[in-house]
Structure 1
């Protein structure tokens, strides 16, 4: 029977690249999107042109009823990649409202809670499965204006570790992939030539990441040889984390 992977927020950026990579590894990919149907269909078209199979499914993964329909469309589920992006407000605490802060944190958790709960039910039936949560180095690093984003991602990682503890008895692995600076549409408003140059200087590889860099790691964790690895965080940051003070 065909293996199935669900990638949330797969219409662009890291999610789209992960969908293409998993399809190349033989998975039928459910390309989840919330608003941009044309972008999701473009991802599906690219997968099919490369010889893979995929289908777009619209759902806001913060909404339980929509998640029920999304999981029903999967029929079976071998891999879940939780990547849906809840756009954060970038501002210091002094100027941030509680509503904006809570909206990011609660949205981030809702987007993984509902999908994980129903996906795990499918995986437990077959006593196997792989879940990958896409986080960010901001869960551990401090940078200006990232109080909401960093807090939300730290909460996501705590959630992922708890899920790993519950899922292990059923042969299901749960891991976290935490990217650094990635050149995507979502980050376009924060990127300037100066910011990109600074990121390059603070990384071992001397460059920003592309979505495909992160997708390759997601696919390796989800569909590679990580069968005995669970509850682990893999930072994909071009070596940014090993350089101090540059």
Structure 2
């Protein structure tokens, strides 16, 4: 049974991923920062469905907290097979540059990268030692498409994708695969306000689904990326946008 750590899994997309992977036979570790009750709800959901799960508290932007969490997981389970880097360390400000503060911009970009950096650096050594592992980063199509209100979020996710590609190159011969799953518009607590308005209706019309994505749509793609058979795809981006990129036009490479 693979042991899978999912950062920021107490709610939204991370919770959907935990439930999906738990149902597919992963031993799921639900990471959270402050929402212990919500994390335990996810653990119970996985267990009620017949899976195995536990929770682990850590602020993934704090290297010491990450080290403590990973050390504990390794002591209990002996290995970590997959890490889903999902934690939304700062809410994305949906503001144009003229209205965007440096504080909000910095928090989004540095939070995104700190969360990825610390967890990646800590788990790579044991993954290399076991000769196997998967790192899956939750990116965004905002890394490729310029649009209103996407400045901070797009910059952060573009940097995350570049980071992941470099990590993939560094561990390509160590048995560790790296993928980025890049969703389009997903209805989560962080985006509900934006998607409830005209922008959400526009995105729904531009999708082959006739709606914006739900967390479960992206969780299915993450489950695919977690399959060891997909190791040859290391260093690539799996876009999950309901066909938006081909219907509206833009980069799909």
TM class by shorter chain equals over 0.9
Match of 2:58 in 1: 59
Match of 1:195 in 2: 199
Tell me, in whole angstroms, the C-alpha distance in 2 between the residues paired with 1:179 and 1:73: 31
1:233 equivalent among 232, 237, 241 = 237
* Number of equivalences: 244
Q: TM-score of the superposition, structure 1-length normalised? A: 0.96
Tell me, in whole angstroms, the C-alpha distance in 2 between the residues paired with 1:22 and 1:157: 23
Tell me, in whole angstroms, the C-alpha distance in 1 between the residues paired with 2:72 and 2:3: 11
Contact 1:132/1:176, CA 8 A, preserved across alignment: yes
Indicate the SS of the match to 2:229.
coil
Contact 1:81/1:132, CA 8 A, preserved across alignment: yes
Q: How does 1:31-70 map to 2 (within 5 A)?
A: 31-70=30-69
In the alignment, structure 2 segments of 5+ residues that lack a partner are: none
Q: How does 1:115-154 map to 2 (within 5 A)?
A: 115-154=119-158
1:224 positional shift:
5.3
Tell me, in whole angstroms, the C-alpha distance in 2 between the residues paired with 1:188 and 1:167: 37
Match of 1:208 in 2: 212
Tell me, in whole angstroms, the C-alpha distance in 2 between the residues paired with 1:100 and 1:120: 30
Indicate the SS of the match to 1:55.
strand
Tell me, in whole angstroms, the C-alpha distance in 2 between the residues paired with 1:35 and 1:187: 20
1:142 positional shift:
1.4
Q: Which runs of 4+ in 1 moved over 4 A?
A: none
Alignment of 1:179 with 2:183, yes or no, is yes
Structure 1, 120-129 or 224-233: larger mean CA deviation: 224-233
Tell me, in whole angstroms, the C-alpha distance in 2 between the residues paired with 1:150 and 1:4: 31
Summarize deviations over 1:162-207 as a string: whole Å, max 9, x none: 0000111101100000001111112112122533321111112221
Q: TM-score of the superposition, structure 2-length normalised? A: 0.93
Tell me, in whole angstroms, the C-alpha distance in 2 between the residues paired with 1:69 and 1:194: 44
Summarize deviations over 1:101-141 as a string: whole Å, max 9, x none: 11111111000000000111110110100110001111111
Tell me, in whole angstroms, the C-alpha distance in 1 between the residues paired with 2:197 and 2:150: 20
Alignment of 1:78 with 2:113, yes or no, is no
Contact 1:4/1:74, CA 8 A, preserved across alignment: no
Indicate the SS of the match to 1:51.
coil
Match of 1:163 in 2: 167
Structure 1, 84-93 or 49-58: larger mean CA deviation: 84-93
1:92 positional shift:
1.0
Contact 2:58/2:66, CA 8 A, preserved across alignment: yes
Indicate the SS of the match to 1:190.
helix
In the alignment, structure 1 segments of 5+ residues that lack a partner are: none
Contact 2:168/2:177, CA 8 A, preserved across alignment: yes
